[in-house]
Amino acid sequence: MKKIDEYQGKKVLVIGFGISGINAAHLLVKLGANVTANDKATPKNNDIVDDLEADGIKVITGDNPISLANEGFDVVVKNPGIPYDNPLVAAFVKQGIPIITEAELGWQIFDGHLVSVTGSNGKTTTTTLTQLMIAENAKHQVKYAGNIGISFSKIAEDLGPDDTLVTELSSFQLLGAPTIHPHIAIITNIFSNHLDYHKTRENYINAKLNITRNQTKDDFLVINWDRDEWQKIAQRSQATVVPFSRLNKSHEGSYVEDGMIYWRGQEVMPTKDIRLIGPQNVENALAAIAAAKLSGVTNDAIKKVLTTFSGVRHRLQYVMGYQERLFYNDSKSTDIEATEVALQGFDRPVILLAGGLDRGYTFERLVPYFKKHVKAMIVFGECKDKMKDAGNQAGVPVIESENAITAVPEAWKLSEPGDVILLSPANASWDQFPSFEVRGDKFIEAVEELTGKKEQ
């Protein structure tokens, strides 16, 4: 951990009691700050409040009182998910008070080698693969943290100058990380996500590009080269651009040709040997390979990881096989693009479980994928009628169900040996579940109840 005095004697407000907020509050005390912690909700677990207060932190719960904007705070550390038009946050914006996220705080105290990953889809898998690959050859600690569910600042506290940290960073986190400077930055892809938060696609892109804003020509931007738009986005970086591509050959980076993965013209391994299924995971592997090779990782280490790693929970996760059916949990597919790539990963008939929060869009884009890959659909949630319309357009039988749990036995009734039963909702979970993780866990529980087996 790097010693800094930036917060010594400063009055700091932490808004939000998520994992990152709680860790940030405790860290700020160590850094000499006078800390107030605020959450709109009242925690059900009193231990959270007790621990904060025991560390000398003033705690305010049950509201985001606007009066806090008049208490002379020097810095605000905001939970990434709280929008900037939140009345309390907006009041600090109007005053010009610095508003950062815990990722910025983590960067400020980090004293090692930073690799950071962002993108619309594939962030967690790419982050995990990159960490595993670098760790295979490392003589020092290699950890991961960030949006993957582990506090950046908490892990950074325990790492030294020779250690490596691979961080998954969301657009929300990056908006509040003005000085972050990874040596290697990865952009997996950019679609049109979170426009309810960012308002426009350009705002969303700009937030993602914060990952490379402070990079120089001595740093590297590893970026997907499969779309013209992404190639143009790369021109906005000062870093050395390293492309990865499943569709376009480029000797400057990692790419696929005739079923073989290459790094700068040298063979690495066949794509068929990657344990993770689907074209999206080939792309995730290519991104991780580029970062690993830039970090000096050997081909043998890369092969070991890619031939053994079976996936991140909720991201096209293989759950189990039962009576010649295969169950997959892809609850993290909260947008159309993620479900598109999930469906392309299967050469077996798919019974698709889909639906969720209605964000106002329709699903015509999925019709060709339904026609090619899906034998039946179970739809649920706020947007089930729109999802049903797309299924009808594709000529696929559609059944309505209450949610992703009740859909499991319905899917089983429709299935035959050789089928895949896939939860890939193409929508957020918030109409029925607090998170995609809870939705995926409940799906797995329903599969276990149906089969009498535990997930593999």
pLDDT value for 195: 77
pLDDT value for 159: 97
pLDDT value for 323: 96
Q: Using the 8-state DSSP alphabet, how is residue 66 labeled? A: G
Cβ-contact 84, 194 below 8 angstroms: no
pLDDT by residue for the chain (456 residues), tens only, comes to 999 999 999 999 999 998 899 999 999 999 999 999 999 999 877 899 999 999 999 999 999 999 999 999 999 999 999 999 999 999 999 999 999 999 999 999 999 999 999 999 899 999 999 999 999 989 999 999 999 889 999 999 999 999 999 999 999 999 999 999 999 999 999 987 777 888 899 999 999 999 999 999 999 999 999 999 999 999 999 999 999 999 988 889 999 999 999 999 999 999 999 999 888 899 999 999 999 999 999 999 999 999 999 888 898 898 999 999 999 999 999 999 889 989 988 989 999 999 999 988 899 999 999 999 999 999 999 999 999 999 999 999 999 999 999 999 999 999 999 999 999 999 999 999 999 999 999 999 999 999 999 887
119 marked as part of a ligand binding site:
yes
Return residue ranges of the chain for CATH 3.40.50.720.
11-99
Cβ-contact 145, 165 below 8 angstroms: yes
127 marked as part of a ligand binding site:
no
Return residue ranges of the chain for CATH 3.40.1190.10.
103-308
pLDDT value for 438: 97
Beta pairing class for 58-61 and 220-224: unpaired
253 marked as part of a ligand binding site:
no
User: For domain 11-99, is the CATH number 3.30.70.2500?
Assistant: no
124 marked as part of a ligand binding site:
yes
Give which of 273, 254, 287 is closest to 123, Cα–Cα: 287
Q: What is the pTM of this model?
A: 0.82
In terms of C-beta density within 10 A (0-12 exposed, 13-18 middle, 19 or more buried), how is residue 74 classed? middle
120 marked as part of a ligand binding site:
yes
Which residues are CB-contacts of 230 (< 8 A; sequence separation ≥ 6)?
A: 187, 189, 190, 223, 224
Which CATH architecture best describes the domain 103-308? 3-Layer(aba) Sandwich (3.40)
CATH superfamily of 317-451: Mur ligase, C-terminal domain (3.90.190.20)
45 marked as part of a ligand binding site:
no
Q: Which helix (H) or strand (E) holds 281?
A: helix 279-294
